[in-house]
Structure 1
Amino acid sequence: MHCYKIDITLMKQVQFIPFLSLCFVFYCPLLVISINPSFNDDVLGLIMFKAGLEDPKGKLSTWNEDDYSPCNWVGVKCDPVNNRVSSLVLDGFSLSGHIDRGLLRLQFLQILSLSRNKFTGTIAPDLLGIGDLQVVDLSENNLSGLIPDEIFQQCWSLRVISFANNNLAGKIPDSLSSCYSLAVVNFSSNQIHGELPSGMWFLRGLQSIDLSNNLLEGEIPEGIQNLIDLRELRLGKNLFTGRIPEHIGDCLLLKLVDFSRNSLSGRLPESMQKLTSCTFLSLQGNSFTGGIPHWIGEMKSLDTLDLSTNRFSGWIPKSIGNLDLLSRLNLSRNQITGNLPELMVNCIKLLTLDISHNHLSGHLPSWIFRMGLQSISLSGNGFSEGNYPSLTSIPVSFHGLQVLDLSSNAFFGQLPSGIGGLGSLQVLNLSTNNISGSIPVSIGDLKSLYNLDLSGNNLNGSVPSEIEGATSLSEMRLQKNFLRGRIPAQIDKCSELIFLNLSHNKLIGSIPSAIANLTNLQDVDFSWNELSGSLPKELTNLSNLFSFNVSHNHLQGELPVGGFFNTISPSSVSGNPLLCGSVVNHSCPSVHPKPIVLNPNSSYSNSGSSLQNNHHKIMLSISVLIAIGAAIFIVIGVVVVTVLNIHVRSSMPLSATPFIFSGGEDYSGSPGNDPNHGKLVMFYGDAEFADGSHNLLNKDSEIGRGGFGVVYCTVLRDGHCVAIKKLTVSTLTKSEEDFEREVKMLGKIKHQNLVALEGYYWTPSLQLLIYEYLARGSLQKLLHDDDSSKNILSWRKRFKIILGIARGLAYLHQMELIHYNLKSTNVFIDCSDEARIGDFGLVRLLPMLDPCVLSSKIQSALGYMAPEFACRTVKITEKCDIYSFGILILEVVTGKRPVEYMEDDVVVLCDKVRSALDDGKVEQCVDENLKGNFAAEEAVPVIKLGLVCASQVPSKRPDMAEVINILELIQCPSEEQEEIQ
C-alpha cells in the first residue's frame, strides 16, 4: 500500500477537506494530510495590513487575497530559500492609516521600510517582535506619542532604526542600550526631550547617530570614545549645555560632526585635532569662547567648517591655510579681529567664504578674487580701501562669482565700470559704505542678478535706463544716496521686481506709468525725493501691492481710486500738499463747463435784444440738459444700489454650500460632487484636522460670534488648536483671486501683539479664516465675565495690555492697514498677559458696499465707533482706530463697558470719565476691584490719554507712534523692580 502526502495551502480549499478525508479513510489509511500555513500567514498578514490603510494612488492594487504567494506583490520581496516574505519596502506610497498588527504574521521579515507616507497613531511596543528585523524605517510620517521602552527588548538582530521626521515625544528609552547590533540610529526632527542616555556609548557597533532637531537637554555624557566605528554624529538643534566630550577625538573614523544650534560653551577639546578623516564640522550657534585653535589646520580632510555665531575671538590662525580641501568656511558673527591670513590663498578649493559681522579691519586682500570663490560675504566689519583700490580692481571677468556682500564696511571709491562682466552674479550688496560715482550702465548685463543693494552710499548720477537688462531682479535697493534724474520707464522690463526702494535721493520728474506693468510688486518706496506730477491711475492694477510710499515729494492731483489705494495710509502720501482725495482729507476741485458769455460791446449790439434772447435760450438749454442728465444718473444709481442691497439681504440667510477638505471628507455628509467645493490652505504645518472635518463647525465647538461671523475651535493633526472664523458675509466677499490675495497678504503679518492668521478656505458661498487659538480668551471676557476674577488683572498687567494693544495697532498702521473694528472682544490675552489684536484687515475682504451695510457688519459694538463714521460719510482712516483705542484704554482702566444700561438711564463711559476729570475726581474712575493698588501717577495720565484719543475731532487724536511714546514716558521707572498687585 502506498502513502501519499498532500499539501493544501490555500484557505479557500478548506471546504473540500471533509470530502477528501472520507475518501482517504477508506482507501489510504496511511495517507497524511498536511496543511502548510506558511504562505497563508504571509498573505493573511499583508491583507490585514492593507485593510487598515488608505491607498489614494492605488499602489497596492497588486495585493490580491486570492494569490497563492505575495512574492510578486509591489514592495514585497521573499527569501529565495523558503519563499517567505523577507522585505517590505513601501517608501513614498502616500499611504495613510495605522501600522496594523497583521505584520506580526511575517515571521521571516528582515527589512520594514514605510518612510515618506502619512501613517498616524503610536509605535506598537511589539514592533520589533516581527520576524528577525534588521532594518526598521518609519521616517517622515505622522506618528505620535512616546517611543515605548519595551520596543527594544527584542532587538538582538536590529542594525538600522529610523523614526525621523515624525511627532514623537518623551525620552529616548534606556533599553536602547541593549541593542548591541545597532549600527544606525536616527530619531531626528521630533519632539524628544530629556537627557542623552549614557548607555548609548556602549553600543560599540554604532556608525551613525542622528538625534538632531529635538528638545534634548543636559550635558553630553563622557564615554563617546568607546564608539570606535562612529562615522556620523548629528546632535544639532537641541538644548544641550556644557562642553563637547573631551575624548571625542578618539573616534578616529568620524567624518561628520554637527553640534550646531545648542547652548554648548567653553573651549574646543584638543583631541579634536585627531579627527583627520572629518570632512564636515559644524559648531554654529553655540557659545564657544577663546581663539580658533591653531590645530584646526590638522583636520586636513575638512570640506565644510562652520564656527559661526559663537564667541570666538582673536585672529584667524594661519594654519587654516593648510586646509587645501576646504570648500565652505563660515566664521561669521563672532568677535574675530585682525585680517585674513595670506596663507588662505592655499585653500584652492574654497567656494564659499563668510566672515561677516566680526571686527576684522584693514585692506581687502588682493588674492580674494583670484580663488574661484562663488560666494563672498564680508559685511559688518571694518574693511577699507587701504593701499589697495579694492572695488575698482574687482576682476570683471570673474565668471564664477554668484554672491558678493561687502556691506557695512568702510569702502570708498567707485564701482568698476565693467561690473557687468560678473555674468554669474546673483546677489550684489555694497550697502552702507562710502562708495561714490555713478551706477555703471553695465549693471544691465547682470542677467542672473536678483538682489541689488547699493543703499546708504554717496552715489550720484541717475538710475541708468540700461537697468532693463537685469531681467531677473526681484529686489532693488538704492535708497539713501544722491541719485538725480528721472525714474527710467525702462524699469518695467524688470518684470520679476517685488521690492523697489529709491527713497531719500534727489529724483525728479513724474512716476512713470510703466511701473504699473511690474505686476509682482509688493513694496515700493519713492519717499523723500523731488518727484512731481500726478500718480498714474494705472497703479491700481498692481494687485500684489502691500506698501506704496511716495511721501515728501512734490506730487499733485487726485490720488488713484481702487485696489490698494482705497486703503492706503495717509502717512504714505503725506508731505505732498497738492495731492487731493479722501485719504488726505483734501477735496479735489470740481471741473465745471465754462458758461457761454456774449460780449455786450460786440458789433452786433444793434440787435442786442435778439442776441440777449438767444443767450437766454442757450443757457436755458444747457441748464435743462445738465438737470436731465443729473436726474437720470441719480435714478440709475438708486436703482442699482437698491438691487444690490436686495441681493445682499436675500442671499445672506442661505445655507453654505457643502465643502470638501483635502482629506476628502464632506462636511454636510452629501457626496463630494459640488463643483464649487474648495481646498483648505494652511500657511504653515499640516492641513488636516485631528477629528476630521465633520466636527469643525458644530454648535459644541463654537467659542464666539461677531459682526463678521461665528468662531469655532478645533484641533489640527499636529496637535495644536486653531480658531476658525466662518464669515457670515460670504455672499459679499470678493472673487476667489481677490480673496486669496488679500488673505495671503494678511497671513504674512506677524507681530507679538497680533493674532496670527494661519490659513483659509474659500468657495463662492463659504469662506473660513483659520487663526491661532488663545485659550485665555478675549479682553472683554477677562474684564466683564462673572466667571473671571478681575483681581487677576493687576494694574501692572492692565498697563501692559494697553501698551501691547498700542504696539500692535501701531504695527498695523505702519503696514498701512486700518483695523476698523477695534474692541475688547477682538483683543485676546495670551498666557504671558500680552495683548493680541485679532480680526485685523477683514475690511479688505469686502468689496465697496453700501455704507450702511458696511457699518452694520464691522461696527457692531456700541460705544467704540468714531463719530465721523456715519452712514453716508464713511472715511476709512487710522483716526477711527485711534478713537476705538481711546475707548479701550478707558475700559481697561475703569473695568466698565463703553455703554452700560441702568434701570432708568444709559451711562456712556467716555462722557462719565470726562465729567469726572472736569470735577477733579478722575482717580475715582479706576476699577474698584484694584482696591487702591494702582499707581496714580500712571493711572491719571493714562486716563487723560484715553480721552485725547477719543476726541470728537479726528485731527486732535495723536497717531499711534505718539501714543507709544507717551505711554513709555508715563510708565514708572520702578515698574521693573516691583509690581503693584
Structure 2
Amino acid sequence: MGTMLKKKSLFFVFTFLVLAPVFSRSLNPSLNDDVLGLIVFKADIQDPNLKLASWNEDDDSPCNWVGVKCNPRSNRVVELTLDGFSLSGRIGRGLLQLQFLRKLSLSSNNLTGNISPNLAKLQNLRTVDLSHNSLSGSIPDDFFKQCGSLRTISLAKNKFSGKIPSSLSLCSTLAAIDLSSNQFSGVFPSGIWGLNALRWLDLSDNLLEGEIPKGMELGVVCCLRAIDFSENSFSGNLPETMQKLSLCNFMNFRKNLFSGEVPTWVGEMKSLETLDLSGNKFSGEVPVSIGNLQPLKVLNFSANELTGSLPESIANCVNLVALDFSQNLIKGALPQWIFNLGSKEVSLSVDKIGGRMDGPLTSPKGSSFERLQVLDLSHNGFSGEIASGIGALSSLQLLNLSKNSLAGPIPVTIGELKALGVLDLSENWLNGTVPVEIGGAYSLKELRLEGNFLVGKIPTSIENCSALTSLVLSKNNLTGPIPAAIAKLANLQNVDLSFNSLSGSLPKQLANLVHLLSFNISQNHLQGELPAGVFFNTITPSSVSGNPSLCGSAVNKSCPAVLPKPIVLNPNSSSDATPDSVAPNMGHKRIILSISALIAIGAAAVIVIGVIAITVLNLRVRSSTSRSAAALTLSAGDDFSHSPTTDANSGKLVMFSGEPDFSTGAHALLNKDCELGRGGFGAVYRTVLRDGRAVAIKKLTVSSLVKSQDDFEREVKKLAKVRHPNLVALDGYYWTQSLQLLIYEFVSGGSLYKHLHEGSGGNFLTWNERFNIILGTAKSLARLHQSNIIHYNIKSSNVLIDSSGEPKVGDYGLARLLPMLDRYVLSSKIQSALGYMAPEFACRTVKITEKCDVYGFGVLVLEVVSGKRPVEYMEDDVVVLCDMVRGALEEGRVEECVDARLQGKFPAEEAIPVMKLGLICTSQVPSNRPDMGEVVNILELIRCPSEGQEGIGMNYLLNISIN
C-alpha cells in the first residue's frame, strides 16, 4: 500500500513539474491546483506524527484538510498554518501553486535548508512565519523585490546568516519584522527606516555591528511602537534623531557596545513603557528627564558605568514595576522615593552605592508601597539597622540585603512577611538572635543569614517554614543543639550550620530528610553518632570535620555503642550435620566483650565464670556455624572441589541484612543449572533464601587480582552503603583466599540488552519506558559519582529491568576490588563493553574519571533510542552507533536514528534532544562531557520543562552543535 501511495505521489510530482506548464497555457486554473501544490509540498517533508494524514490527493478540494483554510466563495487556499507539527525536511516548490495564499505559518517545526526566493512570488502573501525552525543560509538580496502586500514576516530562531537584504526596504506595507535569534551580520540596514507602515522591529540576538546611522529620516517611520536591538554589537552613541519615535512604547538596547551619556532626549519619548539600556558602556549621570516618562513600567540601566546619584525625578514614574540600576558606580543615600513607587521589583545589587538606610521603611497605610514584591539592595555599602517598618512590605517575595554593613538585630516584623520566599541577610554585621517570629514567614524557601554575629539557639519555630529548601546559618556564634524541628522540613536540600558553637547530639530524625544534597555541620562542638541513612552514611568528611566528639565512618572514628555486627560464619565443618539441623541454632551470635566491660570485671571469680561461659558459647556457635556452612558448600564441580571440612575452605560469609540461610542447599548455590550469565568480572547464579527471597550471587573470576581480605572487605562495605532505587543492592559477600562471592538482590526482569536486542513480536519497549530507563540509569550513576565511585563498566547488559519496569544498574565499582587501576587488566576484563569504552582508556597519560561513565552512558542512550548495538558488523563494513546517529541528525534524517519499532509512536521533541544529549556525553574530550548530575537535570527538563527554562533543556539541545 505504501509503495502505491509513493508511486502516486511521484506521479503527481511529475505532473506538476512537467505537464502543469503545458496545461496552464490552455486551461484556466482549477481547484485541483491547490491540491496538487499541497501534495507536492507534502512530498518534500517528513510527518512523523501523521498530522497531515487527512491530506488525500484524490480529494477534489483541500479545504477540509488539517491546517488549510479556504476562501468560502472561491474555495481557493488562503491560509496554511502547520505550527508545531514536528515536520522536517525542506520547503519545496509546491507552495508556488497556491496563488491565493495570504498566510503561511510553519513555525515550531524542524524544517531545514535554505529559504527559496520563489516564495516571494506569491503576490497575495500578507503573513509569513517560519520562526523556530532550523532554516539556514543567507537570504537572497532580491528576495523582497516582489514582496507584494506583505505585512508581517518572522524568521526568528533559525540559523540564517549573512547580511539582512537591502531589498527589505522595498516592502512598503510591512508592519512587523522579526529577524531575531539568527546569525545575521554586517551593519544596520538603514533603508528599514523608510518603511512608514512599520510598527514592530526586532533584530535582537544577532551579530550586527557598527553605529546606528545618525542621518536617518525617522520622521517617515514615526509610527514604530516597539524596537529591539538587544544582544548585538552595535556601538557609538544613540542618535538624537531617535527621539522622533514619539509613539514607541518598547525600546530594548540591552547587551551591546553603546557608549557615552544616556541622552537627555530620552525623556521626550513620552510613550515609553519599557526602556532597557543594560549591559552597555553608558557613563555619566542618570538624566533628570527620565522623570518625564510617566507611563514607564520597566527601567533597566544595569551593568553600565553610570555615576552620581539617582535623580529624585524618577519618583514621577508612578507606574514602574521593575527598576534596575545594579552593577554601576552610583553613590549617595538610598532614595526614599523608591518605597513610594509601588514598584514590584527593585534591584540595586552590585552597585557601589554608599550611604545609610536612613529613615523608617514605612509609608502611609494603603499606599502603593505595599505592592513591592522584590527588594534587592545587595552588594552595596549600606549601614545602620534594618527598620522594623520593613514588615509593612506585605507583598514582598524576595528580600536581599546581603553584603552590606548593616548592624543591629533582625527585626521581629520579618515574621509578618507571609509571602516572602527568599530572605538573604548574609555577610553583614547583624547581631542578636534569630527571632522566634521567623516561623511566621511560612512561605520561605531560602533562608540565608551566614556571615553575621548572631547568637543564641536556632528557634524551633523554623518548623513552620515547611517549604524551606535552603537553610544557611554558617559563620555566626549560634549555640545549643540542632533542634529536631529541622527534621520536619521535608523539602530541605541544602543545610549549612558550619562555623558556629552548636553542641549536643544530632537528631536521629534527620535521616528522614530524603531530599538532602548537602548538610555541613563542620567546626562546631557536636557529639555522638551521625544519623543512620543513605545520605549520612556517605556524607563527605569535610562536612562533619572539626567536631572532635562526633563518631561514625564519615569521621573515621568508631562509636562506643556498637550495633550488632553482621553474622560471621566459618564454613569449616566439624560434624556431618545436615541442612535441616541448621535452623534451630542459626540465632546464636558471637559475644564480643569490650575493654570497658573487661575492666568492670573486678573479681577473679567473675572473670573465671565469664571465661567459662564464653568458651561454652563459642563452642556452640562454632558447631552451629559449621553446620550452616554445610549449606554453603557452593558445589560447582571443578570450580570449588575442596571439601568443606578442609582448611582451604575456611572463609567468611557476611550478610548485611537478614540471615544467611540458603534454602536450596549446596547443590544449587553455584550449580550451572542456576547460572544467569557471565560478565567480565565473573559468573552470576540465582538462589533462594529460606525466607523465600531470591538473590543473585556473583562468583568473581579475578581472584588472583583481588586485594587482601581487609582491603576487599573495606571496599565491599563501601559499595554496600551506596543505596538507590536504580542500583542493584549489594546484600553480602563471601571470602576465602581462593573464592570470593558477592551477594546481590535478584532482579527478575532480565537485562536491558535482552529487552532491546532479543525481544520478539510486539513485546518491545515503548518510548516512555525507554525514557524512564535512561533517566533512572542517569540517576543511579549520579548517585555513584556522588559517593566517589566510578562504574567503569556501564553497558546495556549491566542494566537490569525489575518487575515494574524500573532500571537497576549492577556491577558497579568492581574495579575497586583490584589492587590497582591497571588499564590493561581493566580493558581485558570488560572487552564485552566494546563501543562503550571512553577513548581515554587507550591513553595512559589521561586520568580515568567519572567522565568515563558519562561516555558509556551516552552510548547507552543512543542504544536505547535506536535499538541498535554500539558497534554492528556488516558484511564489508563496521557501523559505529555514535557516528551513525551524528551523521543522520546533521542531515535531518531523524527517523533513521529511532528504533523502527517506534516509528510514529515517539515525540520528536523528546527524542531529538535525548539523542543530542547522548552525543554530547560521547564527546572525545572528557571535559566537554557534562556531569551526571547535569545530565539528570537536562533529562528532567526535556520531559517536564519548567516555565522559563525550556531553553536549558529541549531548545538548548535542539540547537547545540553535536560535532
TM-score, normalising length: structure 1: 0.60
Residues 241 and 343 of structure 1: CA distance in aligned 2, closer, same or farther (over 3 Å): same
* Mapped partners of 2:114, 2:237: distance in 1: 35
Q: Give the structure 1 partner of residue 199 of structure 2.
A: 207
* Mapped partners of 2:606, 2:246: distance in 1: 116
Give the residue type in structure 2 aligned to 1:153. K
Map 1:379-778 onto structure 2 (within 5 A).
Answer: 379-385=378-384, 390-395=386-391, 398-540=393-535, 549-559=543-553, 573=555, 593-594=592-593, 620-621=619-620, 624-625=623-624, 634=651, 646=678, 657=753, 674-675=764-765, 679=770, 729-732=795-798, 760=857
Residues 679 and 267 of structure 1: CA distance in aligned 2, closer, same or farther (over 3 Å): farther
Provide, for residues 660-701 of structure 1, a one-character-per-residue CA deviation record: whole Å limited to 9, x for no partner: 9xxxxxx999999622876579999xxxxxxxxxxxxxxxxx
Q: Give the structure 1 partner of residue 260 of structure 2.
A: 266
Q: Give the structure 1 partner of residue 92 of structure 2.
A: 100
* Mapped partners of 1:117, 1:650: distance in 2: 49
Q: Give the structure 2 partner of residue 168 of structure 1.
A: 160
* Mapped partners of 1:659, 1:194: distance in 2: 54
Q: Give the structure 2 partner of residue 142 of structure 1.
A: 134
Paired residues of 1:558 and 1:579 also in contact (CA < 8 A): no
Provide, for residues 89-133 of structure 1, a one-character-per-residue CA deviation record: whole Å limited to 9, x for no partner: 222333333223211100011111111223223222222223421
Paired residues of 2:753 and 2:797 also in contact (CA < 8 A): no
* Mapped partners of 1:319, 1:208: distance in 2: 30
* Mapped partners of 2:614, 2:503: distance in 1: 48
User: What SS class does the counterpart of residue 438 from structure 2 fall into?
Assistant: helix
Give the residue type in structure 2 aligned to 1:419. I
Map 1:28-47 onto structure 2 (within 5 A).
Answer: 37-47=29-39
Paired residues of 1:167 and 1:191 also in contact (CA < 8 A): yes
Residues 112 and 220 of structure 1: CA distance in aligned 2, closer, same or farther (over 3 Å): same
Provide, for residues 740-780 of structure 1, a one-character-per-residue CA deviation record: whole Å limited to 9, x for no partner: 9x99xx9xxxxxx99796995587996799xxxxxxxxxxx
User: What SS class does the counterpart of residue 388 from structure 2 fall into?
Assistant: coil
* Mapped partners of 1:579, 1:123: distance in 2: 76
Provide, for residues 46-96 of structure 1, a one-character-per-residue CA deviation record: whole Å limited to 9, x for no partner: 222233344444443433333322223332222344331111122233333
Residues 548 and 493 of structure 1: CA distance in aligned 2, closer, same or farther (over 3 Å): farther
Shift of 1:521: 1.4
Q: Pick from 316, 324, 330: which aligns with 2:324?
A: 330
Identity over aligned residues, as a percent? 37
Q: Give the structure 1 partner of residue 344 of structure 2.
A: 351
Q: Are residues 1:298 and 2:297 paired?
A: no
Give the residue type in structure 2 aligned to 1:41. D
Q: Pick from 275, 280, 286: which aligns with 2:274?
A: 280
Provide, for residues 703-746 of structure 1, a one-character-per-residue CA deviation record: whole Å limited to 9, x for no partner: xxxx988xxxxxxxxxxxxxxxxx66443458766769x99xx9
* Mapped partners of 1:708, 1:409: distance in 2: 46
* Mapped partners of 1:240, 1:591: distance in 2: 81
Q: Are residues 1:360 and 2:450 paired?
A: no
* Mapped partners of 1:289, 1:641: distance in 2: 82
Residues 640 and 305 of structure 1: CA distance in aligned 2, closer, same or farther (over 3 Å): farther
Residues 540 and 415 of structure 1: CA distance in aligned 2, closer, same or farther (over 3 Å): closer
* Mapped partners of 1:401, 1:668: distance in 2: 59
- The runs of 5 or more residues in structure 1 that have no matched partner are 1-10, 13-32, 561-572, 582-589, 661-666, 685-706, 710-726, 747-752, 770-825, 846-981
* Mapped partners of 1:765, 1:142: distance in 2: 22
User: What SS class does the counterpart of residue 176 from structure 1 fall into?
Assistant: helix
Q: Give the structure 2 partner of residue 252 of structure 1.
A: 246
User: What SS class does the counterpart of residue 216 from structure 1 fall into?
Assistant: strand
Q: Give the structure 2 partner of residue 190 of structure 1.
A: 182
User: What SS class does the counterpart of residue 360 from structure 1 fall into?
Assistant: coil
Residues 88 and 482 of structure 1: CA distance in aligned 2, closer, same or farther (over 3 Å): same
Residues 111 and 542 of structure 1: CA distance in aligned 2, closer, same or farther (over 3 Å): farther
Q: Give the structure 1 partner of residue 306 of structure 2.
A: 312
Shift of 1:376: 0.6
* Mapped partners of 1:612, 1:74: distance in 2: 91
Q: Give the structure 1 partner of residue 61 of structure 2.
A: 69
Q: Give the structure 2 partner of residue 375 of structure 1.
A: 374
Provide, for residues 391-428 of structure 1, a one-character-per-residue CA deviation record: whole Å limited to 9, x for no partner: 33322x54211111111111111122242221111111
User: What SS class does the counterpart of residue 65 from structure 2 fall into?
Assistant: coil
Residues 367 and 328 of structure 1: CA distance in aligned 2, closer, same or farther (over 3 Å): farther
Give the residue type in structure 1 aligned to 2:592. P
* Mapped partners of 1:612, 1:272: distance in 2: 97
* Mapped partners of 1:668, 1:138: distance in 2: 43
Shift of 1:165: 1.5
Q: Give the structure 2 partner of residue 863 of structure 1.
A: none
User: What SS class does the counterpart of residue 96 from structure 2 fall into?
Assistant: helix
User: What SS class does the counterpart of residue 265 from structure 2 fall into?
Assistant: helix
Give the residue type in structure 1 aligned to 2:218. Q
Paired residues of 1:366 and 1:390 also in contact (CA < 8 A): no
Provide, for residues 299-357 of structure 1, a one-character-per-residue CA deviation record: whole Å limited to 9, x for no partner: 2221110001110000111111111122211111100000233444552x322111122
Shift of 1:469: 1.1
Give the residue type in structure 1 aligned to 2:326. S
Residues 246 and 758 of structure 1: CA distance in aligned 2, closer, same or farther (over 3 Å): farther
Give the residue type in structure 1 aligned to 2:313. S
Give the residue type in structure 2 aligned to 1:484. T
* Mapped partners of 1:142, 1:419: distance in 2: 50
Provide, for residues 815-860 of structure 1, a one-character-per-residue CA deviation record: whole Å limited to 9, x for no partner: xxxxxxxxxxx99998xxxx94979889x99xxxxxxxxxxxxxxx
Residues 192 and 760 of structure 1: CA distance in aligned 2, closer, same or farther (over 3 Å): farther
Paired residues of 2:431 and 2:453 also in contact (CA < 8 A): yes
Shift of 1:502: 0.8
Provide, for residues 506-542 of structure 1, a one-character-per-residue CA deviation record: whole Å limited to 9, x for no partner: 1112222222222121122111111111122214489
Shift of 1:472: 0.9
Question: What RMSD over aligned residues (CA atoms) do the two structures have, in Å?
Answer: 4.8
Residues 465 and 235 of structure 1: CA distance in aligned 2, closer, same or farther (over 3 Å): same
Residues 302 and 621 of structure 1: CA distance in aligned 2, closer, same or farther (over 3 Å): closer
User: What SS class does the counterpart of residue 393 from structure 1 fall into?
Assistant: helix
Paired residues of 1:291 and 1:312 also in contact (CA < 8 A): yes
Shift of 1:152: 1.8
Residues 204 and 613 of structure 1: CA distance in aligned 2, closer, same or farther (over 3 Å): closer
User: What SS class does the counterpart of residue 533 from structure 2 fall into?
Assistant: helix
Give the residue type in structure 2 aligned to 1:554. P
TM-score, normalising length: structure 2: 0.61
Give the residue type in structure 2 aligned to 1:441. V
Residues 268 and 829 of structure 1: CA distance in aligned 2, closer, same or farther (over 3 Å): farther
Shift of 1:627: 6.3
User: What SS class does the counterpart of residue 210 from structure 2 fall into?
Assistant: strand
Paired residues of 2:139 and 2:160 also in contact (CA < 8 A): yes
Paired residues of 1:427 and 1:452 also in contact (CA < 8 A): yes
Aligned positions, number: 669
With CA pairs under 8 Å and 6+ residues apart, which has the higher RCO, 1 or 2?
Answer: 2
